[in-house]
Amino acid sequence: MKTLTTLFITITLWLVAIPQAFAASTTRVYSSGILVLAFLGFCALIVVVQLIPAIITLWGIVKELVAGKDKEKEAKAEISN
């Protein structure tokens, strides 16, 4: 019981001694112009457009893997007959 009390006191004092973290001030107003937003939007559009073929290719690979397993089972069944 004494070790539990000592452990509890130690942890409590340790937690009290840790300094508090202060968040950064967010009082600054966003002052970038419309051109900066347009540029960032264009960059995001490029990323999204490049993701479309990648997703289609990934879908095709997964589809062929699933279909390939079925074809392999059919081939084994034909050989055994």
pLDDT, tens digit (0-9, with 9 covering 90-100), for 41-81: 999 999 999 999 999 999 999 998 888 766 656 556 556 55
How many domains are contained in the chain?
Answer: 1
pLDDT recorded at residue 20:
62
Looking at per-residue confidence, does 13 or 77 come out higher? 13
Whole domain around residue 7: which residue ranges?
A: 1-79
Per-position DSSP letters for the chain, written without gaps between them: -HHHHHHHHHHHHHHHHSPPP-PPP--SPP---HHHHHHHHHHHHHHHHHHHHHHHHHHHHHHHHHHHHHHHHHHHHHHH-
Question: Is 90 exceeded by the pLDDT of residue 32?
Answer: no
19 band by pLDDT with thresholds 50, 70 and 90: low
Average pLDDT over residues 19-30: 64
